[in-house]
Amino acid sequence: MIRVRFAPSPTGYLHIGAARSALFNWLFARKVGGKFLLRIEDTDLQRSTDESTRSIIEGLEWLGLDYDEDIVFQSANAPQHRAAANRLVAEGKAYRDFTPKEKRDDASIKQGIADRARAQSTEGSDHRSNPYRDLPREESDRRAAAGEPFAVRLKVAHEGKTSFEDIVYGAQERNYSEIEDLALLRSDGHPLYNLSVVIDDIEMGITHVIRGQDHITNTHKQILLYDALGTPVPKFAHLPLILAPNKGKLSKRKHGEVVSLTTYRERGFVPAAFRNFLALLGWSPPDTKEIMKLEELTQEFSLEGIGRANAIFNFQENDPRHWTDDKALWMNAEYIRTISRDQLLPMVKAELRANKLWREEYEDEDREWFAKTVDLIRQRFHTLKDFSSQGRAYFSDDFDFEDAAVNKNLKKGPRLKELLPALADRLEEMDPFTAETSEAALRQYAEEQGVKAGLLINGSRTMLTGQAVGPSMFEVFAILGKDRSVTRLRSGVPWF
RNA sequence: GGCGCAUUGGUGUAGUUGGUUAACACGCUGCCCUCUCAAGGCAGAGAUCACGGGUUCGAGUCCCGUAUGCGCUACCA
């Protein structure tokens, strides 16, 4: 039985890179009939928050990625992690390190690492030079018993190398000389990442570890741990990273909300669309078809189809039109205009409701009208937000007139101030009032008045919707109905 | 500093065991359609396949080197 897991640390919003890892894990599990598990890596108590855990769970739910079995909270397994470390010490595979803990400040950590490495190479010391590495057991036990604080480190052999066959990146090797005696337990007894991950993965029966490429180095350390523990090593598939447009790391601090999955929900993305877009970042289907529903994605997905080069998430921070990747935006629009009514209507309902535009009749006697209206306007919308902003005039009489539209379609034709109310009089007599009859009436009236039909059409569009763009005007007349059409044509509102 | 990975048009990606004019999607330009804007249709611009060597009759595809980028290198995860 194949078992995979998504193991985020709850230290903030759900990053789109993490969301993609979750997606790939899920697709793989569903494709092969395995289990997809969720583990919250909350061992860093200071940084972990419940709110973040909630956002991760909600994010997965939004993307439609359901997980099997109960969520595992890593912090709950700390006793097992400690026990494993102690067992390794007892077996002589790990040792207590009584070196006093160094003070580190996070800001300069990377620099510190490089500096230390430089210093180490010049003074000739290596990863095996820890003075406590070969401390006699009796002395180690005595000092521990006396209450002296210590960290626990894995005893990595002097000679040898780790190797594994990465499903994405191929054969990987690392000399032991490149690997330090990694810390397993902090001097306060707190288990560290690499230990916890391995113990939990073993405990959960994980067979395939699918995670970001930034973990490749960790994988070598973890293999050492599997070996020390005498446990079979799972298969690994590392994923290329998602980078910012400058090829740098995508981070909240630098790039803001565009990296947070929550943003896409808040800004009107259809979950299926974003999921589809995410799937195409680093993975490509066997054929050229890119728009795929979940079932298709699942069917086509394979670890072998994952590329090795990091992908750039292409967006322009200062341009509202391109606030996120163009292709994601395009895909969202594509979904909005093509998904079934049954799928779309609930999303539109939520959007309208959030903006106090929803009326219960839309699910009752005005049900058909609502569906037809949505079908009419969805064609040119890019996000669900558009239903409450650009689409506002269809659901409320309280809508704004865009200055540009008023200038272009109304004020440039001074006669419209009289023509439009007069047109309203004509329309009022139509029965039935349909796209066809209103068109006939408008065109005839334009001819009588010696003006172009377009003048009346565009003027009407702005009077009825406040905008310069929108669906075919006669469809709008029909959808809005005679009363509202006539009333809006007569209202002098935008003229003042 | 060390180790590792990557490098195909602006972006996401295809390019099978090396073989004619490097393919698809988004974006971009123009035209058509038309009451506007989209959508749609048609046409088009844009890649010396990072660079330099080499192997070969022939290389985006194999080898070596260089550059650039990214990742890791922590008693963070």
pLDDT per residue of chain A (496 residues) written in tens, 0 to 9: 999 999 999 988 899 999 999 999 999 999 999 999 999 999 887 788 999 999 999 999 999 999 999 999 999 999 999 999 999 999 999 999 999 887 766 666 777 777 777 777 777 678 888 889 999 999 999 999 999 999 999 999 998 999 999 999 988 989 998 899 999 999 999 999 999 999 999 999 999 999 999 999 999 999 999 999 999 999 999 999 999 988 888 887 888 889 999 999 999 999 999 999 999 999 999 888 999 999 999 999 999 999 999 999 999 888 888 999 999 999 999 999 999 999 999 999 999 999 999 999 999 999 999 999 999 999 999 999 999 999 999 999 999 999 999 999 998 888 898 999 999 999 999 889 999 999 999 999 999 999 999 999 999 999 999 999 999 999 999 999 999 999 999 987 766 6
Select which of A252, A254, A327, A412 is catalytic: A252
A174 nearest nucleotide via C1' and CA = B3
Q: State both tokens at A166.
A: 């990465």
CA A170 to chain centroid, in Å, comes to 27
In a domain, residue A213? The reply is yes
Q: State both tokens at A391.
A: 């689409």
CA A176 to chain centroid, in Å, comes to 37
Q: State both tokens at A131.
A: 């003075």
b or e along A51-80 (b: 16 or more beta carbons within 10 Å of the residue's beta carbon)? ebbebbbebbebbebebeeeebbbbebbee
pLDDT recorded at residue A111: 74
CA A190 to chain centroid, in Å, comes to 31
Residues A9, A135, single domain; the answer is no
Total H helices, total E strands in chain A: 20, 12
pLDDT recorded at residue A494: 64
CATH number of the domain where residue A485 is located: 1.10.10.350
Q: Which residue is nearest to nucleotide B3 (CA to C1')?
A: A178
How far in angstroms lies nucleotide B19's C1' from the CA of residue A312?
Answer: 33
pLDDT recorded at residue A431: 87
Asked whether the ipTM of the predicted complex exceeds the cut of 0.90, the reply is yes
Phi/psi at A386 (nearest 5 deg)?
Answer: -60, -25
How far apart, in Å, do the first and last CA atoms of chain A sit? 71
Residues A283, A178, single domain; the answer is no
Determine the structural domain holding residue A46 and report its residue range: 3-70+242-312
Residues A33, A64, single domain; the answer is yes
How far in angstroms lies nucleotide B40's C1' from the CA of residue A126?
Answer: 67
Comparing CA positions, the residue from A49, A5, A421, A370 lying closest to residue A211 is: A5
Q: Which residue is nearest to nucleotide B38 (CA to C1')?
A: A380
Could you identify the residue written with the tokens 């003070």? A103
Residues A433, A358, single domain; the answer is no
Residues A218, A92, single domain; the answer is yes
How far in angstroms lies nucleotide B37's C1' from the CA of residue A64?
Answer: 33
pLDDT recorded at residue A219: 95
Neighbouring residues of A167: CB distance < 8 A, sequence distance ≥ 6: A208, A235, A236, A237, A303, A304, A306
Provide the number of structural domains found in chain A.
4
Neighbouring residues of A75: CB distance < 8 A, sequence distance ≥ 6: A42, A43, A45, A48
A456 nearest nucleotide via C1' and CA = B35
DSSP A84-96: HHHHHHHTTSEEE
Quote the CA–CA distance of A251 and A256 in Å, as a whole number.
7
CA A357 to chain centroid, in Å, comes to 28
Q: Judge contact between A438 and A475, C-beta under 8 A.
A: no
How far in angstroms lies nucleotide B76's C1' from the CA of residue A47?
Answer: 10
Q: Which residue is nearest to nucleotide B68 (CA to C1')?
A: A247
CA A450 to chain centroid, in Å, comes to 56
Long-range contacts, A139-148 (Cβ 8 Å, 24+): A140/A95, A140/A96, A143/A96, A143/A98, A144/A96, A148/A98
Could you identify the residue written with the tokens 């007569």? A490
Has A252 been annotated as catalytic?
A: yes
How far in angstroms lies nucleotide B17's C1' from the CA of residue A152?
Answer: 50
Q: Judge contact between A310 and A281, C-beta under 8 A.
A: no
DSSP A12-41: SS-BHHHHHHHHHHHHHHHHHT-EEEEEE-
A338 nearest nucleotide via C1' and CA = B39
CATH number of the domain where residue A278 is located: 3.40.50.620
A150 nearest nucleotide via C1' and CA = B75
Phi/psi at A125 (nearest 5 deg)?
Answer: -80, 155
Residue A360 DSSP symbol: G
Q: Which residue is nearest to nucleotide B25 (CA to C1')?
A: A290
A120 nearest nucleotide via C1' and CA = B1
Residues A128, A30, single domain; the answer is no
Q: Which residue is nearest to nucleotide B72 (CA to C1')?
A: A217
Q: State both tokens at A55.
A: 């956002």
Residues A305, A166, single domain; the answer is no
Which positions on strand B lie below 7 Å from a protein C-beta? 1-8, 10-14, 23-27, 35-39, 69-77
Residue A97: strand, helix, or coil: strand
Q: What kind and span of H or E run contains A193?
A: helix A193-203
Residues A218, A136, single domain; the answer is yes
Q: State both tokens at A381.
A: 């919308």
In a domain, residue A125? The reply is yes
How far in angstroms lies nucleotide B28's C1' from the CA of residue A288?
Answer: 22
CA A279 to chain centroid, in Å, comes to 11
- Using the 3D structure, point to which of A297, A312, A327 is the last residue of a domain: A312
